[in-house]
Amino acid sequence: MKKYNELLYKKQDFITSYIRNNLGSTSIVDSRFVDSYIKEFNPKHIVQPFGANSCKEIGKMLSYFYKCNILDRTTVSLYHIEPGFPKWVYVYFIKEIK
């Protein structure tokens, strides 16, 4: 269990550091973020011919950190949609402490 928690904290740190250092937000269609995460943690993923690679773990981690009140999110509609692309995505950013 300790090893799992350690890995989870590393992923949390990676995601929050990326968001802080890259325009303040990210999503599953942010190809730089997805590629960096895959390079760092080597999760199962599918290489896509264009756009961001597909990695279910990333969506699960972003959603988990949202549920833990670490991240906040909003929806963004995507324009110029190609077949197979989502019509909208969640964009995640670090939750402000008030």
pLDDT tens track for 16-46: 999 999 989 999 999 999 999 999 999 999 9
Separation CA 54–CA 45 (nearest Å): 6
Rounded distance between C-alpha atoms, residue 11 and residue 9, angstroms: 5
Q: Classify residue 31 as left (phi > 0), alpha (psi -120 to 50) or beta.
A: alpha
Contact predicate 14/26, CB 8 Å: no
Judged by phi (left if over 0) then psi (alpha if -120 to 50, else beta), residue 14 lies in alpha
The whole-model pTM stands at 0.89
Residue 98: predicted pLDDT:
57
